[in-house]
Structure 1
Amino acid sequence: MAKSASSVDWLNRVFGDSKYSDLTIECGESTWHVHRVVICAQSPFFDKACSNGFKETSSKLIKLEDDDPTIVREMLRYLYTGDYLEQTKEGEEGSRRSALSTNVHIHTIADKYDIPALGDVAISKFSARAAREWKTEAFAGAIEEMYTSANENKEPMHKAAVAIAAENAKTLLNDDCGQAFRKIAEAVPKFAAELSIEIVNMKEKMPPTFARYRCPNSMRCNKVNMLEGLGQASGSRTCTYCSNQYYVNVWVSKKLDD
């Protein structure tokens, strides 16, 4: 459920404020003073860690030893505000990470700590940015990260990346801007396979296209016509040059190879 403007303003103010905090989260050298009512209500993982006699219940301290502090920070920001920052300020830890990569990492941590709404936001942000930045090396790098990360629930993010790549496959697979993309496609067979399937599916869904057909009147015309999708058509078509009409099955027999 989306947070109201007033609640977001209030939660923004208390995010990182130790006053009234009843839980501390540590990751690397970073520490956040948080509120269980905010954190545990949105994450079954943290709810469990703060109840049922776990050591965190008495110590009021949770250590996240295997995570990236910048990603943890943005996860917590989301829990308080309903949003997160894709890029950090120059010079801050994690500032060299691309926004696309951040979205991949956020999706991974959302799955790890059972925050599905955050995962949905990460996919939405990734898709919107990838639609603008699909020519960049950052897009290729994000694909590599999502296919090699430990996230068990990768499929939604995979689908988002594959859809963008398939839509722009002609450029990515042929032009100079796609060099980094092609290297990743070669290095990650699973992505290449899923991309191939998506391209085939897209072609099957495409409307009929024009093809070349030689006029059946080979003696007097024999000109090449561009006619639209005769494969499933019926009736007859007229030659653009000699104006003679021929049944579709006759035209189909005169189709030229692409």
Structure 2
Amino acid sequence: MVISFSRNVISDNDNTLDETNGEEDPSELEVAAETDRRNEMSSSIATLRANPKYSDFLILCGDHIFPAHKAIICSQSDFFAKVFDSHFSVGYRIASSSLASKLLTTILQEACTGRIRLPDHPLVVLLLLDYLYSSDYTFYLDYDFPTSFLAEGQSPPGDLVDRLHCCELSVHIHVFLVADRLLIRGLKYLAKEKFAEILRKASFPTVYPRAVREVYTMTSIHHRLLRDVVVDFTLDALHSHGERGHFDPNFPRHILEEFPEFAQDLTTKLVDEWVEDEKSIASDLMQIAEYFRLC
């Protein structure tokens, strides 16, 4: 899939006249021209995605081959930049993930031939490239991506909408993890936001437990950014259960028993909230006491 940018023609600016002399406003014309130039640049970069003519290395993923351009990829990924610049040293720590030394050695060797093989699912790599060439990516199914969560023991829900939400959440988790491993900060935050957006609209009793299981199975304590999304969403659901039409009053407590780390994170957040509330109450009481003292 190629995400292309359509060139925006700002007709209002093109026809803007100065009210005093009937001439076009130069400042607005400059803004329109600058916008047009930016759109042309974005369109040109996106076009490279579909045209392998000027690509200077290949990303291999399973049986799929993705042409890429070092200038675009390396400028956004410290991982790829260091691979091609051969700046990896012994003991180099790639973000928070533990990439096996054997895999890293293989990647470095392949980089010398202009080929890099990634162990991720082809759809995840495709969305990764979509982001690098367009600053965004759009979820869709391709390359036989599993229609249920990948965590061991997961089963897809019966409802088709719930199943689609589960699949999309899984895709965003995988994109987050590959962005974290390849040191692409912008993509990591974008995947986190997309994950949070789908989690908010998905069915709580059906999709939520699967989302918790997926996140805490596939991530580690170093992936605080994504785990916090699940914990914060849980707190929000608990605090606003009367306003959520699809909220199940029987909170899936088995998740707390199944994932002690999740239970610990949730408890920590609850305690932090309580402490902040107590501080706020204490501050209010002190202000009231000071008011009466002055009276």
Question: Above 0.5 in TM-score?
Answer: yes
Q: Deviations over 1:56-95 (max 9, x none)?
A: 344111111x21111111111111111112x324x65226
One-letter amino acid matched to 1:94: F
Alignment of 1:170-249 (within 5 A): 171=241, 177=248, 181-206=252-277, 232=285
TM superposition shift of 1:12: 2.2
Counterpart pick for 2:140 among 68, 72, 88: 88
Q: Deviations over 1:110-150 (max 9, x none)?
A: 11111111111112222222222261533332322222225
Tell me the residue number matched to 1:138: 207
| Alignment of 1:15 onto 2:49 | yes
Tell me the residue number matched to 1:59: 113
Contact 1:17 1:34 in 2 (8 A): no
**Higher normalized helix content (fraction of residues):** 2
Tell me the residue number matched to 1:244: none
One-letter amino acid matched to 2:135: G
Q: Taking structure 1 as reference, are residues 194 and 150 closer, same or farther at Cα in structure 2, changes over 3 Å only?
A: closer
TM superposition shift of 1:177: 3.6
Q: Deviations over 1:199-233 (max 9, x none)?
A: 2333444599xxxxxxxxxxxxxxxxxxxx9x949
Q: Taking structure 1 as reference, are residues 144 and 186 closer, same or farther at Cα in structure 2, changes over 3 Å only?
A: same
Q: Taking structure 1 as reference, are residues 61 and 92 closer, same or farther at Cα in structure 2, changes over 3 Å only?
A: closer
Q: Taking structure 1 as reference, are residues 6 and 165 closer, same or farther at Cα in structure 2, changes over 3 Å only?
A: farther
What CA distance in whole angstroms lies between the structure 1 residues aligned with 2:220 and 2:53? 34
Q: Taking structure 1 as reference, are residues 197 and 51 closer, same or farther at Cα in structure 2, changes over 3 Å only?
A: closer
3-state DSSP of counterpart to 2:86: coil
3-state DSSP of counterpart to 1:94: coil
Identity, in percent, stands at 24
| Alignment of 1:68 onto 2:139 | no
The structure whose Rg is larger is 1
Counterpart pick for 2:173 among 104, 128, 135: 104
Q: Taking structure 1 as reference, are residues 50 and 178 closer, same or farther at Cα in structure 2, changes over 3 Å only?
A: farther
Pick 1 or 2: higher relative contact order, CA cutoff 8 A, min separation 6: 2
What CA distance in whole angstroms lies between the structure 2 residues aligned with 1:180 and 1:93? 33
Q: CA-atom RMSD, angstroms? A: 3.3
Contact 1:51 1:57 in 2 (8 A): no
| Alignment of 1:6 onto 2:51 | no
3-state DSSP of counterpart to 1:83: coil
Tell me the residue number matched to 1:211: none
Q: Taking structure 1 as reference, are residues 178 and 9 closer, same or farther at Cα in structure 2, changes over 3 Å only?
A: farther
Q: TM-score, normalized by length of structure 2?
A: 0.60
| Alignment of 1:50 onto 2:84 | yes
Q: Taking structure 1 as reference, are residues 163 and 94 closer, same or farther at Cα in structure 2, changes over 3 Å only?
A: same
TM superposition shift of 1:181: 4.5
- Structure 2 gap segments, 5+ residues each: 1-37, 88-107, 149-166, 290-295
The count of corresponding residues between Structure 1 and Structure 2 is: 207
Tell me the residue number matched to 2:160: none
